[in-house]
Amino acid sequence: MRTRFVMILLFAWLTTVFFALGALAQDVATATPTQLLSLTPSTPTLTTSTLTTSTLTTSTITATVNTEGMRLRVRAAPSTTAPIVARLADGSTVIVLARDASGDWVLTPLTGAAAESGWIATAYLRMSTSIGALPVATVTPLSPPSPPTPTATPGALPTATPVIAAAPIATPPPPASALPSGLYGKLAVPIFDEDRKTYDVWLVNADGSELRRVVEEASSPALSYDGALVAYRRWKVDDRGIVVANADGSNPWRITDKLEDVLPSFAPDRTRVAFSTYRWGDRKNRLYYAWTDEQNRVAWEWGGGGIFGEDPFWMSDGRILFRVTRPERAVEELWSMDGRTGEQRTLHYVTDSIRAPAAAPDNRTVAYMAFAAGNWDIYTFDLVDRSVTRLTDDPAEDGLPTFSPNGEFLAFVSNRGGKWGLWRMRPDGSDLRLIVTLPGPVDGRVEFEPEYLNHGWLEEQIGWSW
């Protein structure tokens, strides 16, 4: 009796398995490519080349962007260093096609963009289902960027399959030898309004024409290498921090939220801004950076605890110049480091005084201001042969130097003759000329701000770009 009962159970189990296998075989034989992916055991894998139009239209997995009001970056590859191809509004719903092996990024189709699809960080998404349900896409690496061209025309960034083309951004200017000769471009200058007791940012053409105010209650302007953007320190009570805007002041967006964040400098590709800050309780200057899009107001350090330094200047070769003050030895030092990693830190120069270092387009000559014989003057330091040249020797205050885009001129501010003006000269100190008389001083103290925030023109800078 017991044997008969066991035989009946075995027969029933075999019958169930037979019909299940038959149904599975029929499903596999008639499945579409997208359905086949869902039938692959465990974590299915597909190459990005198999993500066809049918894949885009048959996917039903969605996600909602969750960035607390900021726009979300969509990238050409699953990496924070990949080019940005689009931005998504907070709360928008997207179709999700696949994920990367780590599950940190998902692929979404795009419409109205230069790319067919792009990658989104899952940390900023609310998924409609478990991310483990998505197929895994393998991505071919980005090709190396093309060498710069001798124009400032926007160019396409390298792309990674399945992205057809990354969103174009302006190409950084080429080396000085390839740039047009002559005097051109525009300069950004901070000017203190003595009636309102605050700074404003002004623009002026290199020939002194069209002096105009572009941002109120702001200072420490920096222009991007392509001249399209300006970054500045915002003094407005309800809008403090580092702000990035179009060069004419339009479309501003704040990328940090501390008034202690000062002296911004653009990376050559303008995706990041370096700055110095004394936001820590010890009020010591450290170097930070922030991304130049609108995703969030988070500032990042290079390494744990940050790198001590101030006056950063992002050179066109990717290095960042900065200075370090050593009060215990009454000296100041000029350093450089790798702008990507914060590593390869190099000490170049030790002197009694150095402020506002700015590199020439050839990345060899550094102009700076130094206090000697009772006033500030302009000097240059050669990073290769370590020679120092004094360019100005006037009883007035000369400072905040910056090179022209082609390296043929050096601009600075001065109160020669009792009025503040913007001046230019050749890098050897010759051909000194006034560009324009400014409508106010460059040195000032913002009203109602504490002393530790008010350093006048010693915490200012000017910029020169296209």
pTM for the full predicted model: 0.66
Where the chain has pLDDT below 70, the residues are 1-59, 68, 113-114, 139-178, 294-297
| Cα 404 from Cα 397, distance rounded (Å) | 21
- Write the DSSP symbol of residue 431: S
pLDDT at 140: 57
Residue 38: which of 48, 52, 24, 17 has the closest Cα?
24
- What DSSP line would sit under 276-315, residue for residue? EE--STT---EEEEEESSSS----EESSTT-EE-EEEEE-
What is the model's pLDDT at position 294? 61
Tell me how far apart the alpha carbons of residues 436 and 165 are, in angstroms, rounded to a whole number.
44
Go through the domains of the chain in sequence order and give each one's CATH number. 35-138 (2.30.30.40), 176-465 (2.120.10.30)
Distance CA 402, CA 185 (A): 13
Backbone angles phi, psi at 401, to 5 degrees: -75, 155
Task: Compute φ and ψ for 396, nearest 5 degrees.
Answer: -75, 175
Cα–Cα distance, 99 to 106 (Å, whole number): 4
- pLDDT tens for 154-213 read 333 333 333 222 223 333 444 444 689 999 999 999 999 999 999 999 999 999 999 999
In this prediction, residue 11 carries a pLDDT of 57
Q: Which positions ≥6 away from 80 have C-beta within 8 Å?
A: 121
- DSSP-derived secondary structure for 392-430: ---SS-EEEEEE-TTSS-EEEEE-GGGS-EEEEE-TTS-
β-pairing verdict for 307-308 and 310-314: unpaired
pLDDT at 15: 53
Q: What are the start-end ranges of the H helices in 31-133?
A: 33-39, 53-58
Q: What is the pLDDT of residue 116?
A: 87
